[in-house]
Amino acid sequence: MQINRTASAHWSGGLKDGKGLISTQSGALTDYPYGFASRFEGIPGTNPEELIGAAHAGCFTMALSLILGEAGFTAEHMETSAKVTLESVEGGFAVTAIHLSLSGRIPGADEATFTELANKAKAGCPISKALAAVPITLDVKLA
């Protein structure tokens, strides 16, 4: 089975004065603005690191749901945030770290089991695998 998803970016202008628009096949984002100011200066709009974080948090949490089910658990709720760190390094900028913070209510699971299964999901989710060149850390809290 092969699944292909598409997204696109349009850019006009230079780096600092330019404007970009991001769109996704699903329509979740349609000509959504991004640019230098939203990436580096906190101006409204999105940026690539935020989108990576959203993709990683979503993929990881979905993978954990599968792993929990295989272990006989069902999440009452889970919430994951992903902090993606962009830093100036030799040769330019790079994503240097991703930190996942997970909290959840899992009836019947203890903290050790939840942590073990969450680490399994972190290692196995497709987005974690795609981002394997970046150190990925995880903290887990059972609510």
Alpha helices in the chain (DSSP H): 36-40, 48-70, 111-124, 126-130
Q: For 21, phi and psi rounded to 5 degrees?
A: -135, 135
Report d(CA 84, CA 100) in Å as an integer: 9
What are the pLDDT digits (tens) for 59-108? Answer: 999 999 999 999 999 999 999 999 999 999 999 999 999 999 999 999 99
Helix (H, G, I), strand (E, B) or coil at 119: helix
The pLDDT of residue 138 is 98
Q: Does domain 46-140 have CATH number 3.30.300.20?
A: yes
Q: pTM of this prediction?
A: 0.94
Give the residue extent of every domain in the chain.
5-39, 46-140
What are the pLDDT digits (tens) for 23-58? Answer: 999 999 999 999 999 999 988 889 999 999 999 999
